[in-house]
Structure 1
């Protein structure tokens, strides 16, 4: 009987403080909050000053990708998706680079930079360092995104540092890697433009994540 009452108290506690299936507190992605503020046209909406891409382009293997990016994190506890829809500009390489995110109107919302053992995120309200890119993307987007692999994924190919397998099925193009399913069926690898859809989960301890990137020439 005592155990039954204790279980009921725990259920009531979870109802007051929703959590994910792994016990992590539900947290709205920083990007979603920034985008929401700007789309509402609030006076509090401000933007960063744009600056030239960092001087990393001379190194062999550096790339420049840009387009539109959306991410949806489906939290299984409260059923509310989190994330944002932004323009992106990705420069550099996994070891050193820069990612800028902006509103549909061009206001620069966030700039992430990494290299020389430092990972930083700057927004109109903060300038903060992080332990690694996983921690940064979790704060910004709501879930950790494998940025090192993203450089290759957004070019329609697997990250060569890890194993991958081709997707199976009729009219299906793409691959699976790092627990993610990368759909390249609407991406033109020759023209290097089109839509990349990356999905993960849901798994027991992780919510479902859908990342859509439309690469522009």
Structure 2
């Protein structure tokens, strides 16, 4: 998992050298959310923590959609798209297919990250497809503690190694579906 996170960080650092072509927003998108996102994987006594940050655009919904990551220099460095039965990850030098979005994030980060739930989490609400429990600062769902502070979100995976995802919505779609 640390190697995958380091690879993502390295890919973002090299974004000035290679980038994906930008494409228009999907005409059938249910929603568009954009902003900044960072993912940090905690270290331990034997390994240093890793992480990376990027701007993001999230189109569509949990069943079919697209996530684009842009480097701090403005280069589009990764595009994930999904629909029932398949998910695709495009980088400047590669395109890979997966059975689903969980398999894609597991390959990229070493663990599945609930991207489908992010559509709701970014709007300060639990994902309706899974049970949740309220907490003092938000809720817990799918093994993650969600602390929404619109227009920001902090999601922390409770299992080791601890993964922290921070997102801040920006632009005209901030906080709206």
SS at match of 2:4: coil
Could you list the runs of 5+ residues in structure 1 that have no partner in the other structure? Answer: 1-24, 188-193
Aligned residues of 1:196 and 1:212 also touching (Cα < 8 A): yes
Distance in 1, matches of 2:87 and 2:4, equals 21
Distance in 2, matches of 1:197 and 1:215, equals 12
**Would the alpha carbon gap of residues 54 and 111 (structure 1) be closer, same or farther in structure 2, given more than 3 Å must change?**
same
Distance in 2, matches of 1:113 and 1:27, equals 23
Does residue 99 of structure 2 align to residue 99 of structure 1? no
Does residue 167 of structure 2 align to residue 213 of structure 1? yes
Count of equivalent residues: 170
Aligned residues of 1:71 and 1:141 also touching (Cα < 8 A): no
TM-score calculated relative to the size of structure 2:
0.88
Could you list the runs of 5+ residues in structure 2 that have no partner in the other structure? Answer: none
Deviation at 1:135, TM superposition (A): 1.9
Where do 1:76-115 residues align within 5 Å? Answer: 76=44, 78-115=46-83
Does residue 172 of structure 2 align to residue 200 of structure 1? no
Tell me what 1:33 maps to: 10
- Cα deviation digits, residues 149-197 of structure 1 (max 9, x gap): 11100111000111111113xxxx311111110111x31xxxxxx2100
Tell me what 1:190 maps to: none
TM-score calculated relative to the size of structure 1:
0.73
Does residue 9 of structure 2 align to residue 55 of structure 1? no
Q: Which of these two proteins has the greater Rg computed from alpha carbons?
A: 1
Distance in 1, matches of 2:164 and 2:88, equals 24
